[in-house]
């Protein structure tokens, strides 16, 4: 099996991102934010444990692509990571804004929570 170059990996991911629905993009958002925040080793252990899959059915195409993103991202240079981020931002500026917010908050995804007058409100 021939290994893809990092540039080819980025081209694939950009193409896949363009094909994803808004729902899939929202699922991808916290995953991407976490990679750009570069969380501590402890979180890496937690995430590795959370990736253990005990279900009987095979992964969806989306899940396979996210798995590849996680594997490939670790091998990219800082320049390549910035290039990927730039391309995604050019495709979907709303996603880019949400991603920036996630990165600023340390990659903690809280899309179903909202603070109103200091109290946490669950959104439906």
* Digit-coded pLDDT (tens) for 42-95: 444 445 444 555 667 888 999 999 999 999 999 999 999 999 999 999 999 999
pLDDT of residue 54: 60
How remote is the C-alpha of 38 from its chain's centroid? 12
pLDDT of residue 57: 81
- For residues 58 and 94, give the distance between their C-alpha atoms in angstroms, rounded to a whole number: 31
Report field, pTM of the whole predicted structure over 0.85: no
Contacts of 53 (CB under 8 A, 6+ apart): 59
Confidence of residue 8 (pLDDT cuts 50, 70, 90): very high
pLDDT at 109 over 80: no
pLDDT at 105 over 50: yes
Half-sphere exposure of 9 (CA within 13 A, CB side): 22
């Amino acid at each position: 099996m021939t290994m893809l170059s990092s540039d080819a990996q980025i081209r694939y991911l950009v193409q896949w991102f363009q094909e994803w629905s808004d729902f899939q993009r929202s699922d991808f958002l916290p995953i991407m934010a976490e990679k750009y925040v570069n969380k501590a080793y402890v979180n890496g252990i937690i995430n590795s444990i959370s990736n253990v899959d005990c279900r009987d059915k095979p992964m969806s195409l989306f899940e396979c692509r996210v798995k590849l993103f996680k594997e490939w991202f670790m091998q990219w240079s800082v320049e390549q990571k910035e290039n990927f981020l730039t391309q995604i931002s050019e495709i979907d500026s709303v996603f880019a804004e949400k991603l920036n917010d996630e990165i600023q908050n340390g990659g903690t995804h809280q899309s179903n929570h909202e603070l109103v007058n200091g109290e946490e409100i669950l959104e439906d």
